[in-house]
Amino acid sequence: MKWNRKDLLGLEELSREELELILSTAGSFKEVSSREIKKVPALRGKTVVNLFYEPSTRTRVSFEVAAKRLSADVINIATETSSVKKGETLVDTGRNIEALKADIIVMRHNYSGAAAMLARHLDISVVNAGDGWHEHPTQALLDMFTLKEKLGRLEGINVSIVGDIAHSRVARSNIWGLTKLGARVTVCAPKILIPPEIDKMGVHVTSDINEALSRADAVNVLRMQFERDEQNAFPKQLEYFKNYGITAERLEKAKDDIVVMHPGPINRGIEMSSDVADGANSVILEQVTNGIAVRMAVLFLVAQAQGKTDEPSN
Amino acid sequence: MNEKSKILDKEGLGRSLTRIAHEVLEKNKGAEGLCLIGIRNRGAYLAARLGSCIGGIDKKGVPVGILDITLYRDDLTQIGSQPVVHKTEIDFDITDKIVVLVDDVLYSGRTIRAALDALIDFGRPKAIQLAVLVDRGHRELPIRADYVGKNIPTAKDEQVEVRLAETDGVDEVVVVEKSQ
Amino acid sequence: MNLLIKGGRVVDPAGNLDEVADILVEDRKISKVSKNIKSDGARMIDAAGLIVIPGLVDMHVHLRQPGREDKETIRTGTLAAAAGGVTSVLAMPNTDPVPDGKDNIALIRGLIKDSAVVNVFICGAITRGRFGREPADIAGLKNEGAVAISDDGSSVDSDDVMRKALEEGKTQKILLICHSEDKALSANGVVNLGFTSTRLGLRGISRESEYKRVERDISLAEKAKAPVHIAHVSCRESVEIIAAAKKRGVMVTCETAPHYFALTEEAVLGYDPNFKMNPPLRGKDDVAAIKKGLKDGTIDCIASDHAPHTENEKDIEFDRAEFGVVGLETELGVTVTELVGPGALSWPEAVRKLSLNPAKALNINKGTLSVGADADIAVIDPDREWLVKKEALVSKSKNSAFLGRRLKGAVVCTISAGKVVFG
């Protein structure tokens, strides 16, 4: 199977075979991170630019570590301090980076579709590190990689995603990836946070947290963001925790070995209690480790495809 | 694809491996401090077989590892077909050991160069030796094998195919005309 | 110079004509329509195998001048119209200044006189500045020559102001055109609310934001016993509401745009802002309802809602891109490809939607090829296929939803006021 895509914009357009290729390639890269010398020359001489329009530490650092372990050079552009503040358009910024002969742009942007737009205008590779509410493909890939490691397979397993589904790019990417590989997905949220017709993505929908946990092999807990204003946020946070928080009591009614995941950073006491976050079922830190391997695989594959066709891989 | 001649059959291949096993032990005065590392794909199977041979002669036996050199190739962006990355499995320390790299065919030498780069990242071996089943000439780098199963002079438009039971269902070495 | 259009199939529903005939144009008027006309000195236009129709009357066009001449001007917009077989255009009032009073209308009239290549009719505003608060000087607008009023781009939120406007419109005999949208319900959306907005992670525009306002607009018109015209109908429910109102005898007419019967919301997958417009593209059922509404007469007119935007404002992140697409040059082709070709509309019916009904709604003397009428004529090759190419578009802006598509039905020649303006 060949990988022909110079960009990774989302999981919606990937085939089952392409997803499996990324996961198996990631497995090989995981071994690199366990060596004494955590470096391979695969992307030596290539330049990866992290273009982050939204603040992020964990994803950006994860991509940076991944690129450096492939021997690539990494440049970080945080737009608060860049010429974007002077009004430069996204495409102009992208073209400038291309003119510097960079090879891959890893971009996070607050508008859905921004990565697709940039990829349309550039010849170099674009990897989507999160665009608005749309997709966050590498997060879902590392979630799936972690699940496959823990449970041995993805086919036929039950995964529940809990949180603000309507505004979550992590949820959308996970839904596409998991359903394509045969998992059964349930989404759980208060009604106003369930987007219209999401059942058409092949998921079961519920607003009952106990139902979501009851037969789940894994639960992926999304970040809940309330207003930064402490006074107004607190009662809403308490309410959310009461109805949807993942606590030890709630997990008692779930499977003993249910895998608990979270894309991070965790709001302890809002979407999940501390004891669950640090408990035996949690794989949150493994997700972070696996994130490096998955991102190495993605950077490696898109770098290979440059100069080749842009059609779906065969 | 035209099969031009058969160089080794099953028995011949087995005899070559046995002879190499003896040569390795002779040169290194025993199995002490030795390890074998096979280069994916067929080199890995050959290394496993060689390891069994050696174990049959010297009860000490030798550890066997598998090396994937895809990430160290110097032609990653030029090749038309997609390089697939597989796992490297070396679960012993190679520092201060004598590493015998094992591969099926030695040709331009670039695969071995990549393997040398990879090995250095794993540790500091005392020495690295090279065992190949077939040396077909046409070196592009100053690389040579310490142990050779068979020397086969070839033309550039020919290809040497090593077929193993583990991957191809049969043990043999043939020379074929290069496919278009 | 006189013109003799020879041997074409003349389709003129106003005159109940659909047969091969010649048309003679003398002195900017149609002077003769019959077989085998002989005329010395007239320039001959060979229309054998072609269709000859009254020039299109597009009652929803944004010419952008005055105010945004970077997007389009009256001159470039009317040149685009000519290329699309359109000989009469209703210029929408969201310009700067807004035609909400005598002076502003006079300014626009002057610009039209100087630079328009086809007929341009003026649509004034319903409220001052289109702010929705104070009614404009509707009597004054009528006197200055406006043939319709609208706040297009916005709806008049206040029932009270709308009611007053409907009554004044009735008194002044000037058509009130409604952009029916409840902005509180469309909630900053950018695509149709539904599976597509969910997949794309974009805010959705609910169908209620359109049809509930259509309901209100019709209800107020019904109470005032005043005529009303609903612009750019996009969804099934709106069609149903209008059909029911017509049955009750309400004086309501309406229009739809070609993209609402040619495209569904799935076109937006891929985030190309050339598929971003307001109202948004909807679902398959809506497309079917629009086509049915055109066929059974619920929808009277096809109008392009030609909305030019510069590349800087269109070729950007989907959320930030302006709403709207150009359409003057493709509306005929899309109508032929999607409706006439597949047999959903006959040629006379298509001419009604594109020419005659808009003229009737606006109460202007256009949309017909009868003797004595203005010589506004379009000659069409109904079978010619053509590719919509960005570079070939005449409009100053190139934001078309049909770029790269093959259309059937091409304009061969357009005549406006007896003069060849295209072809």
HEC readout, chain C: CCEEEEEEEEEEHHHCEEEEEEEEEECCEEEEEECCCCCCCCEEEECCCCEEEECEEEEEECCCCCCCCCCCCHHHHHHHHHHCCEEEEEECCCCCCCCCCHHHHHHHHHHHHHHCCCEEEEEECCEHHHCCCCECCHHHHHHCCCCEEECCCCCCCCHHHHHHHHHHHHHHCCEEEECCCCHHHHCCCCEECCHHHHHHCCCEECCHHHHHHHHHHHHHHHHHCCCEEECCCCCHHHHHHHHHHHHCCCCEEEEECHHHHHCCHHHHCCCCHHHCCCCCCCCHHHHHHHHHHHHHCCCCEECCCECCCCHHHHCCCHHHCCCCEECCCCHHHHHHHHHHCCCCCCHHHHHHHHHHHHHHHHCCCCCCCCCCCECCEEEEEEEEEEECCCCCCCCCCCCECCCCCEEEEEEEEEEECCEEEEC
Averaged pLDDT for residues B64-89 = 79
The closest alpha carbon to C94, from C132, C57, C140, belongs to: C132
Q: Which of A113, A195, A200 sits opposite C317 (nearest CB)?
A: A113
Check CB contact under 8 Å for A117 and C317. yes
CATH topology of domain C55-368+385-392: TIM Barrel (3.20.20)
**Residue B86 predicted with pLDDT over 90:** no
Closest CA in chain A for residue C318: A113
CB contact under 8 A, C195 and A197: yes
Asked, for residue B4, whether it belongs to a domain, the answer is no
| Residue B168 maps to a domain | no
- Chain B, nearest residue to A313 by Cα: B82
Q: Which A positions 30-89 lie with beta carbon below 8 A of chain C?
A: 89
Structure token digits, residue C61: 């066009």
Domain that includes residue B89, residue range:
10-74+84-155
- CA distance linking residue C223 with residue C251, whole number of Å: 11
Helices (H) and strands (E) in chain A, counts: 11, 9
B41: pLDDT strictly greater than 80 = yes
Chain B interface test: which of A3, A6, A31 (most B C-beta within 10 Å): A31
Helix (H) or strand (E) holding B99: strand B98-106
Phi-psi region of A86 (alpha: psi -120 to 50; beta: other; left: phi over 0): alpha
Which listed residue (A86, A191, A200, A253) is catalytic?
A86
Residue C287 corresponds to which tokens in the numbers above? 């497309």
Question: Are A35 and B81 an interchain contact pair (Cβ–Cβ within 8 Å)?
Answer: no
Whether residue B165 is contained in a domain is answered as no
Q: How confident is the model at residue B76 (pLDDT cuts 50, 70, 90)?
A: low
Higher-pLDDT residue of A230 and A314 is A230
* Residue B16 covered by a domain: yes
pLDDT at A170 over 90: yes
For the A137-287 domain, the top CATH level (class) is alpha beta
Domain-located, residue B90: yes
- What pLDDT was estimated at residue A230? 57
**Residue at B49: amino acid letter:** R
Task: Give the dihedral sign, CA A24/A25/A30/A35.
Answer: positive
Contact criterion met (CB < 8 Å) for C195 and A113? no
Cβ(A47)–Cβ(A75) below 8 Å? yes
- In this predicted structure, what is the pLDDT of residue B171? 94
Summarize pLDDT for A46-63 with one digit per residue, the tens.
Answer: 999 999 998 888 999 999
DSSP B77: T
Which residue does chain B place closest to A42, by CA atoms?
Answer: B71
Are A and B close enough to touch, i.e. 3+ CB pairs under 8 angstroms?
Answer: yes
Nearest CA in chain A to C273: A117
> Which chain A residues have a beta carbon less than 8 Å from that of B70?
42
The reported pTM is 0.88
pLDDT digits (tens, 9 = 90+) for B1-39: 678 889 999 999 999 999 999 999 999 999 999 999 999
A133 touches chain C (CB under 8 A): yes
CATH architecture of the domain with residue range A16-136+290-305:
3-Layer(aba) Sandwich (3.40)
Residue type, C103: D
Question: What is the per-residue pLDDT for B180?
Answer: 58
Amino acid found at C325: V
B57-72 mean pLDDT: 91
**Which pLDDT does position C167 carry in this prediction?**
96
Determine the residue type at B179: S
CATH of the domain at B103: 3.40.50.2020
- Is a pLDDT exceeding 50 seen at residue A232? yes
**Shortest Cα distance, chain A CAs vs residue C328, angstroms:** 27
What whole-number distance in Å separates Cα of residue A188 and Cα of residue C255? 42
DSSP structure class, residue B170: S
Domain count, chain B: 1
CA proximity to A133, closest of A163, A105, A171? A171
Torsion of CA A31, A29, A160, A111, to 10 degrees: 150
3 state SS of A174: helix
* pLDDT interval class at B59 (50, 70, 90): confident
Low-confidence spans in chain C with pLDDT less than 50? none
In contact, A205 and A145? CB cutoff 8 Å: no
Q: Which of B71, B93, B124 to mutate to test the interface with A (most CBs of A within 10 A)?
A: B71
Cβ separation of B85 and A304 shorter than 8 Å? Answer: no
Tell me phi and psi for residue A104, to 5 degrees.
-135, 135
Q: Which chain C residues in 249-278 lie under 8 Å from chain A, judged by CB atoms?
A: 270-271
| Interface confidence (ipTM) of the complex | 0.89
Q: SS3 of B22, please?
A: helix
Q: Would an 8 Å CB–CB cutoff place C197 in contact with chain A?
A: yes
Where does the pLDDT of residue A35 fall: very low under 50, low under 70, confident under 90, or very high at 90 and above?
Answer: confident
The answer on pLDDT for A314 being more than 50 is no
pLDDT tens readout for residues B126-167: 999 999 999 999 999 999 999 999 999 999 889 999 999 999
Query: What is the Cα–Cα distance from C52 to C37, expressed in whole angstroms?
Result: 15
Would you say residue B170 lies in a domain?
no
* pLDDT bucket at A220, cuts 50 / 70 / 90: very high
Residue boundaries of the structural domains of chain A: 16-136+290-305, 137-287
Distance CA(C288)–CA(C294), nearest Å, equals 10
Separation CA C15–CA C32 (nearest Å): 13
**pLDDT of A231:** 61
Q: Which amino acid is at C27?
A: D
Return the structure tokens found at B60.
Answer: 């000490």
Amino acid at C181: E
pLDDT digits (tens, 9 = 90+) for A268-309: 999 999 999 999 999 999 999 999 999 999 999 999 888 654
Number of C-beta neighbours around residue C13 at 10 A: 22
Would B171 be classed as within a structural domain?
no
